[in-house]
Amino acid sequence: MSSHRRFRLASPRPSQVAFLLASLLLAPVASSGQGGQTPAPVTTTAAWVAAALRRADYASVTGRFSPEVARVLDAARLKAVWESLPAQVGFLRSVGAPVSRIVGGRQVAYVPLDFEKAPLSLLVSQDGKGLIDGLRIVPGPPPAEWTPPAYADPAAYAESDVTVGPGEWALPGTLALPKGARGVPAVVLVHGSGPNDRNETVGGVRVFADLAAGLASRGIAVLRYEKRTKVYGARMAGSTTLTVNEETVDDALAAAALLRRTPGVDPARVVVLGHSLGGMMAPRIGTRDPALAGLVVMAGNTRPLPDLVVEQVAYLAAAGAGAEAAAKGEELKAEAEKVRALDPRNPPPAGTRLLFAPVSYWLDLAGYRPAEVAKGLRMPMLVLQGGRDYQVTAKDFEGWRAALGGESWVTLRLFPQLNHLFVAGEGPSTPAEYERPGHVAAEVVEAVASWVRALPAAPAAPAPLPRL
């Protein structure tokens, strides 16, 4: 989601148009399409899309959509979005050459759009058949190439491919292991909402790539993996029994088990670090795996997800983004009310979906209170929160503090300048901020590393008795 305030058409800022642009066009999604002949490069497709939009040939563009995109974006809606832009950002002066970038482990293309009052970019992705499976207009010029954070020391660790979990839900992952590791602590990284890649790529930020590099440089093994909804999204899309266990919890448990079997890792010091939804579910993961050494919660909500949806919609509405964005916000608020009203004794028909998930998902979470579960668990915890986070806010941080503050086994840290991705900035956070290249703040990496290293190690094996 993005933020919006009522437009002042004379001089809108890029961040002011973010909600309208991001909500009306689709973000790139994972694809399992396999082609016959090799499709054209995504940069070629993106250049063609930009040219077609300029000549108002919307039907040609939608004619190349993947089935998933075609179901939610037709030519009329695409026309409405494209032709609304001049009122927001002035006339289109020129279109630049497409550039390719890696987003979510996939190659996508950005086309620079030089509008009179603000630069924008057309973001295009395609599947293995060459069909357009992602289309967005994002604020600002194309992002710069991602580079490792300054606090990473690539010479201190090595990365290798691993497989998390067995059988039909096996997931590709990456293990970052300090060189010469002998009994080192280890961390599993658990994603937020959505079909995230192993790096938890969000716009110009790779949250988990930064954490893995920073922690491994400081003597801590780190396991990150593709989220199940990214790898098997098409297979899971029609499920009427999906819960957050299949989405998140089960794979986190499998990853922790894999780390315990990894040579060089201290099995007594395996930690789960959850971000956003992963932080919310960390106490449930700890309940199901009492052998974990501790939990790290980064921007984990303590309030129910529907409450956050309503709050985010209100935040976004404060910036204003036009009638269609407001209407979408009202839809989400209405669905959130339906989620709150669900009665497990009288559920709606199977297949009913609310807030993009089946009813089974919400019924599973109905009685879940993360902070209360954590208090009963009494497992070492580190809770981190960004002060500029508008998605999971200080209200949630206070929820953790109210339940766990004063407990000797809990550490709570608030970082006033950081946003939901734990990237530093100034002023109110906006979705446009996420598009800019950035890194998880070094102070967060240091906080996690020092806390993990302080966990008690497994007792050394006794020396063998001498033979008599």
Catalytic residues: 276, 389, 420
Instruction: Write down the H helix ranges in 203-322.
Output: 207-216, 228-231, 233-236, 244, 250-260, 277-288, 305-317
How far is it, in rounded angstroms, from Cα 244 to Cα 251?
Answer: 11
Instruction: Output the six-digit token pair for 120.
Output: 């924008």
How far is it, in rounded angstroms, from Cα 220 to Cα 230?
Answer: 26
Q: Degrees (nearest 5) of the Cα angle 309, 276, 201?
A: 105
Short-list 56, 75, 55, 54, CA closest to 64: 75
What are the distances in angstroms from CA 392 to CA 136, 306, 315, 431?
24, 12, 12, 14
User: For residue 213, how far is the Cα from the chain centroid?
Assistant: 18
Q: At 29, which amino acid appears? A: V
Instruction: Write down the H helix ranges in 346-420.
Output: 359-365, 370-377, 394-404
What are the distances in angstroms from CA 249 to CA 183, 189, 311?
26, 12, 25
Short-list 407, 440, 466, 454, CA closest to 146: 440
Q: How many CA atoms lie within 13 A of 151 on its CB side?
A: 20
Instruction: Write down the H helix ranges in 291-440.
Output: 305-317, 323-340, 359-365, 370-377, 394-404, 431-435
How far is it, in rounded angstroms, from Cα 394 to Cα 442?
Answer: 21
Please, what's the b/e burial string for 382-419 (b: 16 or more CB within 10 A of its CB; e: otherwise)?
A: bbbbbebbbbbbeebbbbbbebbeeeeebbbeebeebb
